[in-house]
């Protein structure tokens, strides 16, 4: 979930007033937590996300500040954030950016690692790119929130395979019509995940096309809609997505957000 709202002043006032018991500030980063955590463990987890983005898509953070704020529970998180971010009542974590500073807020829960991986993906993407399509932004965050070893056993992989067997395919044009993250339902998130997972996993050719699209944006160009970008190359990606998901090995239906 991404919010483009001014948080710069908010974060500084809250930084001083909140009761953080852990504060860790390595170069270019800050982590403040209201409950016991091991910052090195959290940064290592998030570094693995950054590494995957760089190795697979040549997406790199800029080194600009990333600030992680961890609240003790949902009540505290909502109390501190809801005035500025009413949507936080429905989200377990949020990402916002103002100028150079990226801020990630979350609270203690069993899905904290997943939530942080998701929002950190947004932070790196928005450092690397001036803009990107919503489906790509959320699709990458949804994919990278899971460790690579557990992706194929997620419930959405199983659900997408089942739908593909009934004829479903990735519909880039439909995904491109999504108006805003706030309007996305679970199906939209799953379909965004499926589009990205397919492009990243089906073939070097498909992943290369996505990397090329992202590189174009990074280079200051507007490559237009991905559906038109890919159509130019006549790759029949939507059609190929059905065949791909029909045959993916789903090891088990596990928990997935």
Minimum CB separation of residue 66 from Zn ion in Å reads: 16
Q: DSSP string spanning 112-148?
A: HHHHHHHHHHHHHHHHH-S---HHHHHHHHHHHTS-H
**Closest among 105, 87, 83, 90 to 34, alpha carbons compared:** 105
Dihedral sign (CA 178, 182, 188, 190): positive
Q: Which is nearer to Zn ion, 30 or 138 (CB)?
A: 138
Minimum CB separation of residue 231 from Zn ion in Å reads: 27
Minimum CB separation of residue 146 from Zn ion in Å reads: 13
**Closest among 164, 165, 149 to 254, alpha carbons compared:** 149
Q: Which is nearer to Zn ion, 34 or 93 (CB)?
A: 93
How far apart, in Å, are the Cα atoms of 184 and each of 82, 92, 138, 175, 238? 20, 15, 10, 10, 21
Minimum CB separation of residue 54 from Zn ion in Å reads: 20
Count the neighbouring beta carbons within 10 Å of the beta carbon of residue 70: 23
Minimum CB separation of residue 1 from Zn ion in Å reads: 4
Q: Which is nearer to Zn ion, 125 or 209 (CB)?
A: 125
- State how far the Cα of 158 lies from the Cα of 224, in Å rounded to an integer: 32
Q: How many CA atoms lie within 13 A of 25 on its CB side?
A: 4
**Closest among 153, 95, 148, 149 to 124, alpha carbons compared:** 95
State both tokens at 51: 């590494």
Site for Zn ion, rule CB under 5 A: 1, 138, 141
Q: Which is nearer to Zn ion, 92 or 169 (CB)?
A: 92
Minimum CB separation of residue 92 from Zn ion in Å reads: 11
Q: Which is nearer to Zn ion, 30 or 142 (CB)?
A: 142
Q: Which is nearer to Zn ion, 1 or 143 (CB)?
A: 1
């Amino acid at each position: 979930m991404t919010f483009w709202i001014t948080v710069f002043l908010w974060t500084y006032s809250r930084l001083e007033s909140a009761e953080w018991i852990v504060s860790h500030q390595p170069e270019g980063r800050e982590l403040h937590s209201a409950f016991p955590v091991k910052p090195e463990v959290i940064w290592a987890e998030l570094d693995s996300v950054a590494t995957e983005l760089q190795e697979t898509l040549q997406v790199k953070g800029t080194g600009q500040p990333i600030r992680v704020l961890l609240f003790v529970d949902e009540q505290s998180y909502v109390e501190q954030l809801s005035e500025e971010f009413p949507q936080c009542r429905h989200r377990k974590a949020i990402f916002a950016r103002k100028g150079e500073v990226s801020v990630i807020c979350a609270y203690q829960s069993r899905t904290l690692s997943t939530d942080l991986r998701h929002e950190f993906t947004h932070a790196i993407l928005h450092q690397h790119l001036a803009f990107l399509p919503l489906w790509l932004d959320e699709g990458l965050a949804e994919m990278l929130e899971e460790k690579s070893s557990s992706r194929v056993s997620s419930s959405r992989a199983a659900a997408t395979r089942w739908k593909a067997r009934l004829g479903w395919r990735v519909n880039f044009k439909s995904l491109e019509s999504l108006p805003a993250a706030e309007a996305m339902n679970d199906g939209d998130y799953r379909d965004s995940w499926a589009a990205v997972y397919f492009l990243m996993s089906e073939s070097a050719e498909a992943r290369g096309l996505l990397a090329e699209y992202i590189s174009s944006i990074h280079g200051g160009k507007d490559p237009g809609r991905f559906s038109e970008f890919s159509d130019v190359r006549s790759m029949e990606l939507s059609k190929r997505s059905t065949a791909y998901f029909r045959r993916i090995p789903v090891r088990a239906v596990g928990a997935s957000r």
